[in-house]
Structure 1
Amino acid sequence: MMLSSAALAQSPAKGDEITGLYWSPEKDAKVEIYKKGVEYFGKSVWVAHPRRDNKNPNETLKNRELLGIDLFSGFHYNDGAYTSGKVYDPESGKTYDCKMSLKGDILKVRGYIGISFFGRTAYFQRIKS
């Protein structure tokens, strides 16, 4: 069966299944994964303990609220994986290379320096509406 170009344009891309709300691993924040252009991002939309980004090495950003900032940025979907992205860790103020994958309602986020073997993995639980 052939799909028309209009039908293809209306159906969501396979990679879009990642979009939605997730609990942080500690359940002290909610992150919304969204798509902008062809890239995927994740911003904090709720935090249990509001605070400023005081660990950020950039002096001009230390006074901003953590609520509403992009923690995940620049991910591209490729054959079941979200790659070439960055993750910002507000606990350390550092940004790491990152890749993500989705299995069911669990978002696996692997931040690393250089190669993914040297990194840390965190698991985010999808929030069902």
Structure 2
Amino acid sequence: MACRTAFIIAIAATLLASPYAFAQGAEPTGVWQTQAGDARVKISKCGGGLCGVIVGLKEPVDPATGKPQVDDKNPNPALKTRPMIGLPLFSGMQPSAPNKWSGQIYNADDGGTYASSVSVTGADTLKIEGCVGALCGGETWTRVGR
């Protein structure tokens, strides 16, 4: 009987230490670094969902102009001069499954807005996915600090 109890405790400890278990208790809020390491995004709760805003850039100054980076890929001429730091990438992403939120994300690299999801995949990892029609892509962001 003692052997069986020890076995059950060992199984439970293994399950609790798995990445899945970490994802269950992990919070998406905080500061995250993009996979390429070129930006940091602060994710916070807003309106029952999630919002994400750029809070830092690897290269905050545009080498061509010597001025802070701006949203120059935006198709809307009125938005092309807004600063990259402080730029909202998504707002109001709503829960769509356990540890997953869905909505739209703005891609400052090409000025497009895409159907997207944010999923907690570990205590310090976040999967960001976006789709245009049937074409989908994604990347993993890493938590910065604690």
Relative to the length of structure 1, the TM-score reads 0.80
Deviations 1:64-99, CA, capped at 9 Å, x for gaps: 11110111222111332111x111111101110101
Q: Classify the secondary structure of the residue corresponding to 2:59.
A: coil
- Secondary structure in 1 aligned to 2:145? coil
Q: Which amino acid aligns with 1:119?
A: C
Contact 2:41 2:54 in 1 (8 A): yes
**Percent of pairs with identical residues:** 35
Residue-pair matches, total: 113
Deviation of 1:16 after TM superposition, in Å, equals 8.1
Deviation >6 Å, runs of 4+: none
Structure 2 alignment gaps of length 5 or more = 1-23, 61-68
Tell me how far apart the structure 1 counterparts of residues 133 and 94 of structure 2 sit (CA, whole Å).
Answer: 18
Residue 74 to residue 114, structure 1, CA distance change in 2 (3 Å): farther
Structure 1 unaligned runs (5+)? 1-13
Which residue matches 1:45? 55
Matching of residue 113 in structure 1 with residue 137 in structure 2: no
Q: Which has the larger radius of gyration?
A: 2
1:76 to 94, 107, 118: 94
Structure 2 distance, partners of 1:127, 1:69, is 19
CA contact (8 A) 1:21 1:31 kept: yes
- Aligned twin of 2:141: 124
**1:15 CA displacement:** 9.0
2:66 alignment partner in structure 1: none
Contact 1:100 1:108 in 2 (8 A): yes
Aligned-pair CA distance for 1:107: 0.5
- Distance in 2 between residues matched to 1:34 and 1:15, nearest whole Å: 16
Greater fraction helix? 2
CA RMSD after TM alignment: 1.8
Partner of 1:64: 82
For residues 5-59 of structure 1, what are the alpha-carbon distances to aligned partners after superposition, in whole Å with 9 as ceiling and x for unaligned? Answer: xxxxxxxxx8981111101111121100011121211100011222111110000
SS in 1 for 2:43: strand
Counterpart of 2:45? 35
1:35 counterpart letter in structure 2: K
